Amino acid sequence: MTTKHWKGAAMLAVDAVVHGSAAVERVQLATAKRTFDILESIPVIAPPSALVRVVHDGITKITHTSIRGVARVAAGALGYRVADPAER
């Protein structure tokens, strides 16, 4: 394996992390939405459920954005700009 190949493998790993993280985030938010939609339809627990949803979704987004951010920094060190997952 040459340096070019190693760099290519690293770029591919970064792509996998960025796009994989975006896909997993979508699944996590969509799965949680189902549960929260049910909980928020029950009047007694609706208000705390809405609060928990905001916290849950916020943590999920921050976590995945951080993962992608670290991957992008690593990509930057290789001189590689990762396309936004939405650009695919």
Partner 1 sequence: MQRALGVAQSILNGVLGDHLERTGNGLALDMELIGANDLPKGSKIVVLVYGLMCTEDVWTMSDGSDYGTLLARDFGYVPLKVRYNSGRPVAENGKELARLLDELVTKSDVAEIALVGFSMGGLLVRSACHFGRANAQPWVDRVKRAFYLGTPHLGSPWERAGRVLTRVLRAVPDPYTRLAADLGDVRSRGIKDLGDPCHPYPLLPSIRHHLVAGFVDERLARAFGDALVPLASGTDGACDHPRALPPANVKILPRVSHLELARHEEVYAHIRAWCEEAS
Q: Which residues bind partner 1 (CB under 8 A)?
A: 1-2, 4-5, 7-9, 11-12, 15, 23, 26-27, 30-31, 80, 83
Cα separation, 69 vs 12, in Å, equals: 16
Cα separation, 77 vs 88, in Å, equals: 22
Q: How far is the CB of 80 from partner 1 (least distance, A)?
A: 7
Q: Name which of 2 and 43 has its Cβ closer to partner 1.
A: 2
Report the half-sphere exposure of 18 (CA within 13 A, side-chain side).
22
Q: Name which of 19 and 40 has its Cβ closer to partner 1.
A: 19
User: Which candidate, 27, 47, 24, 49, places its Cα nearest to that of 36?
Assistant: 49
Q: How far is the CB of 51 from partner 1 (least distance, A)?
A: 23
Cα separation, 39 vs 48, in Å, equals: 9
Q: How far is the CB of 47 from partner 1 (least distance, A)?
A: 26
Q: How far is the CB of 87 from partner 1 (least distance, A)?
A: 10
